[in-house]
Amino acid sequence: MTRKRAAAPAKPARRTQQERRRATQEAILEAAIDLLVDEGYSRFSTIAVAKRAKVSRGARENYFPSKYDLIAAAWRAALIRAQEHARELARDLEGGSTIDRFLSDSESFFLSRVYLALLELQMAARTDKPLSRIFHALYDEYRESHDDIWIEALVKEGYARVRAKAFVRATQYLLRGMALTSVWHVPHADFRAALREWRELAPYFLARTMDRRGA
């Protein structure tokens, strides 16, 4: 009886040139964020980013010719991801109330390593004019549209628009303070206790007045 030869395992499909380019770009952007968090803006350099990303200097220059090109791309990528995450959570009606989903989204962004990197850049932008221009352009482009996702979700749930805007703004102020405090290695458990209290106050802050017109 002749035994059938076992089929050879299928070889993994080779990545396309576009996929390889995207992977290289993502590695560089992730390395830029990590370097900002670990070393700060004063020690940030394109050479250090390329080394951390394990790509050649030429590959880095091909995608991001200057330090400011790289910072702008990393910043934009982080804000786009935050916006996509917010949009996904806002649509997830099975994930609890809009308040809960908004607070979950806010915590995941403001208490992340990515936001620490953005804080580092925001502080440096105070005295670095090219960086300041990048910051203001990206803030105007993405920040308000991100806020609008949750303002509209809260209005759709029936809260007055003016109260929804105030609640989103107050939550961000609270979490920005926590993000700054986290630099001193305060346990996140302390933050979560404060967020639980804020969650309990949320209905009162929003006045719980159901406005069908969303005004």
Task: Look at residues 37, 33, 14, 12 and name the one whose alpha carbon lies nearest to residue 78.
Answer: 33
169-172 own/partner pairs: CB under 8 Å, 24+ apart? 170/205, 171/102, 171/103, 171/106, 171/198, 172/106, 172/110, 172/147
Domain boundaries, the chain: 69-205
Instruction: Using the predicted structure, report yes or no on whether residue 9 has a pLDDT greater than 80.
Output: no
In this prediction, residue 138 has a pLDDT band, given cuts at 50, 70 and 90, of: confident
Of 57, 63, 62, the closest CA to residue 49 belongs to: 57
The per-residue pLDDT of the chain, averaged, comes to 86
Q: Mean pLDDT throughout 100-111?
A: 93
Whether the per-residue pLDDT at 135 is higher than 60: the answer is yes
Percent of the chain at pLDDT > 70 equals: 87
Euclidean distance between CA atoms 18 and 23, whole angstroms: 9
pLDDT at 214: 45
Question: What does the alpha-carbon distance between residue 76 and residue 82 come to, in Å, rounded to a whole number?
Answer: 10
Region 195-209: mean pLDDT is 88
Lowest mean pLDDT, pick from 3-7, 26-30, 32-36: 3-7
The CATH architecture one would assign to domain 69-205 is Orthogonal Bundle (1.10)
- Return the beta strands (E) in the chain as ranges: none
User: pLDDT tens, 146-180?
Assistant: 899 999 999 999 999 999 999 999 999 999 999 88
State the pLDDT confidence band at 120, using cuts at 50, 70 and 90: confident
Q: What is the pLDDT of residue 84?
A: 93
Question: What integer is the mean pLDDT of 79-108?
Answer: 90
Predicted confidence (pLDDT) at residue 1 exceeds the cutoff of 60: no
